[in-house]
Every structure is written in C-alpha cells, then in structure tokens.
Structure 1
Amino acid sequence: MDVNFRKIDIDQYDEDALLDSELYEADPRDPAQALNDVKQKAASVRSSLAKGDIVGALTLVLEDAPYGPNLDDAKNLNLQTLVSILNSTKSSEIPGVIKALSTDAQDTLMKYLYKGMALPGWGDVSGSVLLGWHEKLTEVAGTGCIVRAMTDRRLV
C-alpha cells in the first residue's frame, strides 16, 4: 500500500494559496542579533523594575518585539521578561499601566498573554495573573484588541 500521497504538499499547486512571507515582512534581524537585542532589553527592564517604572519596563519589552520564523530563542526570552513584569505588578496598578501604553503596545501585550496561556502548564506564570491582565486589558482596550491580536499574522 502506497501512503506517499499523504506527504504531497498540495498547496504548491494552488495559485491562490498565500504564504506567510506574502502576508507580512519577517523581522529583518538575524536570530543572533535579535537574541542579543532581547538580552539588552531584559537588562534594561530589570533596572526599570528596580526603579518602580512598570510602564517603562512594559514599553521596552513590547516595542520592537521579535516576529517571524527562526527567532524562537529571542521570543521565549522576551516572554520570560514580560512574565517577570506581570508577576511584579500589583493588581490595583494594572489599569493605569495599560492606559499608559499605546494601542500597538496593548495589541502586542494581548498577543503575549495568549502565548503565555498557550504554554503547557502555563510556564512560569500562574493562570490568575494572565487572566487578570487579560481582563483589565479588555476593559481598557476593548474587544478590538482581542480581534487584532488574533488576526495579526506576526506571531510573538
């Protein structure tokens, strides 16, 4: 019995099929450079957290986030840095922090929240932290933030 038919990529014959490279431009940085940038950001975030500047720390993590293929190490380190910020923030401060972020930063934060929820066992963060941030972010940014995070092809 021949089972090779299951290994054929039929999308290569479909002229209407869209590739990820056609939907968005990948991060122009190579993986080593992106990882180095994220490591530098992580150090800056730690110093911002030591000063009590949560908005500044979140802005650093969310701006210029690594997108695209082959940047898994940088993406994971950026997620760990973000989780450290989320864990160190008091629940009463969350709405003010979210309001201080730009719309793009709020959308990127929503992507990271969903990525954290997708981890098996939710990684280093408890579910209540992620769900609390999700609730507050939805209250401030509205459901449009969820839609934009779900439909954007640039995965964090």
Structure 2
Amino acid sequence: MDTAFRKIDIDVYDEDVLQEEELFDADPREPAQVLSDAKQRQVAVRSALAKSDVLGALNIVLENAPYGPNVEEAKTVNLSTLLNILNTTKSADIPNVIKGLSQDGQDTLMKYLYKGMALPGGGDINWSILLGWHEKLTEVAGTGCIVRTMTDRRTV
C-alpha cells in the first residue's frame, strides 16, 4: 500500500491559506531599536521601583511590549524586567496595582505571566509569585482577560 500521498503539503497549493505574518501587523520598529527600547525601559523600571512606584514600573514595561519574530532578545530583557517587578511587589499591593492598569495592560501582563509559566524552572522565576499574580489578575480583570490573551496572535 502506497502512503506517499500523506506526506504532501496541500497548503502549498491553496491560495487562501493564512500565513502567520498575515494574522497581525508586524512591529514597525527595527530589531535593534526594539532591543534598545527594552534596555531603556529596564533602567526606567529600576528608577520607578526605587521610588516604590510599582504601578508606574508595570506601565513602563507593559507599554509598547516587543512582539514579532525577530525581537527575541528584547522579549527576554522585557520578561526579566517584569519578573523583577513581580518579585519585589508585596502580595497585599497586587490587587490595587492591577486595578490601576488599563485593559490592554492587564492583557499584556497575562501574556507575560503565561510566558513566565512556560519557561523551565530555575533562575529568577518563582512559580508561587506567578500563580499569585495570575489569581489576583483573574479576580480583577475576569476570565475575559484569559480569553483575550489566548486568542491574540501577538506573542510577547
């Protein structure tokens, strides 16, 4: 029995097939510029955390978050900056900080929480902190935040 037909990629012959780059607009900035912006944000976040401004630090990180296929290093810098914020925030302050974020900020925060949960253990990842933030974010933003995060094709 011939099974060679099962190895044919039929999507090559379909004009209407969706390509991943067609699902969302690419980040218009150059990868070097995105990395530079992420490093500048890291410095601004440290300054905000020194003033105990957790909400301001979160807004800095979540605003203009890098996305797309060519900015992996900037995504890593942004994630480590966000994890630093999450690790230094008192658990009693979390709900008020989340309430201060816009809906887009809450959705982007959820994306970062899932990205942090997907990373292998070790380093600066504290699972209990990520799960605590996820719980509080879901309480404040509702399950719609999870749905919007899962359906958005722009990954951070």
TM-score, normalised via structure 1 length: 0.93
Query: In the alignment, what sits opposite 1:50?
Result: 50
Alpha-carbon distance in 2 for matches of 1:123, 1:10: 43
Alpha-carbon distance in 1 for matches of 2:41, 2:6: 44
Q: Which structure 2 segments of 5+ residues have no match?
A: none
After the TM superposition, which segments of 4 or more aligned residues of structure 1 sit over 3 Å from their partners? 4-10
Alpha-carbon distance in 1 for matches of 2:99, 2:93: 10
* Structure 1 pair 96–35 and aligned structure 2 pair: CA distance change class (3 A): same
Question: What letter is aligned with 1:54?
Answer: V
CA contact (8 A) 1:86 1:129 kept: yes
Alpha-carbon distance in 1 for matches of 2:116, 2:8: 33
- Give the superposition deviation at 1:82: 0.2
Query: In the alignment, what sits opposite 1:34?
Result: 34
Root-mean-square deviation over aligned CA pairs: 1.8
Question: What letter is aligned with 2:22?
Answer: E
1:102-132 alpha-carbon deviations (Å, 9 max, x no partner): 0000000000000000001165211100000
Q: Which structure 1 segments of 5+ residues have no match?
A: none
CA contact (8 A) 1:31 1:71 kept: yes
Query: In the alignment, what sits opposite 1:104?
Result: 104
* Structure 1 pair 143–33 and aligned structure 2 pair: CA distance change class (3 A): same
CA contact (8 A) 1:113 1:130 kept: yes
Partner SS, residue 144 of structure 2: helix
Alpha-carbon distance in 1 for matches of 2:33, 2:72: 13
Query: In the alignment, what sits opposite 2:18?
Result: 18
